Structure 1
Amino acid sequence: MQTPASMVMGIVFAPLGLVLVFTAAITPQWREGQARLAMSGPGSMLRSGLRTQGLGIRPGAVEALLLVRSDGLWESCLQMAPPELKHCWPVSGAYQKDPRVRLAQGLTLTSLFLCGTGIVLACIGVRCWKDLPLRGVAATGGLLMVLASLLSVTALSVYTHNLSRLGLQGHSYNRHTQLSLGPAGSLYFGWLGSCLQMLGGVALMFSLKQPKCPTCPACPELPACTCPENNNKANMDIYEVSC
């Protein structure tokens, strides 16, 4: 069987989209910001805050350091230079309890589950080892992929729209350093993965349409490949075509 192009697109794009969305979900770079901090004077109170996160700085070691803060759905990180130190921890506090973050977490997990289920159904429906695909099963898988894409897009949109306000009310780092947070790499992985999921799902849904076999001019009710006049031709191989 020659697999329809729409099915090929679906079973190629959807897994790529799933991998990208999964990568975005587990990485802590949904938002990121950096600031140069003084280790003396009014900003010295930051040193005690860094020690509470397991990042000890010797007094007088440096006059200023570059702090890079990044947050994801399940993990946050602080990176400093100099020295080159990085520390990550599970999200906690106001950020973890923020309803918009929890909404993004739930939508992302649901999206991953639906897309994975859709890929399984698509593989069963396409079944390249058979002459006839199960077009209804493949189209159902495509529908689940489209729903998964919409859920991940909703999660990304909610997070991006509220990015600079998530869990930062009264946060000491933001108040004393004026840390400006912006979108980071994980968001771009998520957007790209969602688009690929949508393309794969729509392609599989289009494969639901039954193709038409060419008919025999002498016998309109028969496919052209079984036309009686073709049976009299010598040295011709006859192939059975299933649609």
Structure 2
Amino acid sequence: MHTPASMVMGIVFSPLGLVLVFTAAITPQWREGQARLGMSGPGSVLRLGVKGQGSVDSLLLLRSDGLWESCLQVEQSELKQCWPVAGPYQRDPRVRLTQGLILTSLFLCGIGIVLACIGVRCWTDLPLRGVAATGGLLVVIAGVLSLTALGVYTHNLGILGMSSQGINNPRLPQLSLRAAGSLYFGWLGSCLQVLGGSALLFSFKRPKCPTCPSCPELPACPACRSCPEIANKPDTDVYEVSC
């Protein structure tokens, strides 16, 4: 069987996009920021955990947030603490919307890839074009959903979870937040999903088959045995004219 190039492209790009979006979803580097924390004064609790640093007046704190986990690390130190997202950041409706869209995207993309694999059907003569194209449509929808989620998060990146009791507490050091690596994985994976799903959508278009030399009104496809010149050929020749 000659598998159309669009199907091959879709069946390669779609799982790759799913892996990248899943990687972005489970990693806590959607946004990151850093701030200096003074070590002087009785309230400096972090200095108890920093040893061998000599006389240190301030520490550089690295903060990163994901969809389900946040982390805090002291630069040039083994001190790192991660915890499930909580507080104003967790309750922010834009964060919740992003979480829901990403989960829906992963589910739809997984179902679409399964349908695409069934539709390609490498073990038979002709692919199930309708099934493969339906899987491609689901993958495209999944890619659009993840792009929407990433767009919402990126647009509001600096203000997510900000409140008088959140990250912006005046008693805590001010963080300068910026996009982090997980966002880039998500953007790349979402684009691959849309690209792979669009390639699978071309499966809806059935290629034009050559006509039978003896009977021009009959198609000369391996699935149609009405053409005498095709029906009388051995199976190896039949596969060669597969459309």
The Cα offsets for residues 6-35 of structure 1, whole Å up to 9 and x where unpaired, read as 000110000000000000000000000112
Give the number of aligned pairs. 233
1:90 and 1:172, CA in 2 relative to 1: closer, same or farther beyond 3 A?
Answer: closer
List runs of 5+ in structure 2 lacking aligned partners: none
Q: Post-superposition, which runs of at least 4 consecutive aligned residues in structure 1 deviate over 4 A? A: 55-58, 223-232
Which amino acid letter does the alignment assign opposite residue 81 of structure 1? E
The Cα offsets for residues 83-121 of structure 1, whole Å up to 9 and x where unpaired, read as 331110000111111111111111100000000000000
Which amino acid letter does the alignment assign opposite residue 143 of structure 1? L
1:211 counterpart = 2:207: yes
The equivalent residue for 1:16 is 16
2:187 to 186, 191, 213: 191
% identity of equivalent residues: 75
Alignment root-mean-square deviation, CA: 2.7
- Compute the displacement of 1:154 (Å): 0.9
The Cα offsets for residues 15-67 of structure 1, whole Å up to 9 and x where unpaired, read as 000000000000000000112222115xx64x35x69xxx8457x86321111
1:239 counterpart = 2:224: no
The equivalent residue for 1:221 is 217
The equivalent residue for 1:201 is 197
1:105 and 1:4, CA in 2 relative to 1: closer, same or farther beyond 3 A?
Answer: same
- Compute the displacement of 1:171 (Å): 4.4
Instruction: Give the alignment of 1:1-243 within 5 angstroms.
Output: 1-41=1-41, 45=43, 47-48=44-45, 56=49, 62-171=56-165, 174=168, 175=170, 176-223=172-219, 238-240=237-239, 241-243=241-243
Normalising by the residue count of structure 1, what TM-score does the alignment of the two structures yield?
A: 0.86
Q: Which has the higher helix share?
A: 1
Normalising by the residue count of structure 2, what TM-score does the alignment of the two structures yield?
A: 0.86
Q: Partners of 2:166 and 2:231 in 1: how far apart?
A: 85
- Compute the displacement of 1:229 (Å): 7.5
Decide whether the 8 Å contact of 1:73 with 1:105 is kept in 2.
yes
- Compute the displacement of 1:219 (Å): 2.4
Q: Partners of 2:68 and 2:103 in 1: how far apart?
A: 12
Which amino acid letter does the alignment assign opposite residue 162 of structure 1? N
Q: Partners of 2:88 and 2:166 in 1: how far apart?
A: 12
Decide whether the 8 Å contact of 1:65 with 1:82 is kept in 2.
no
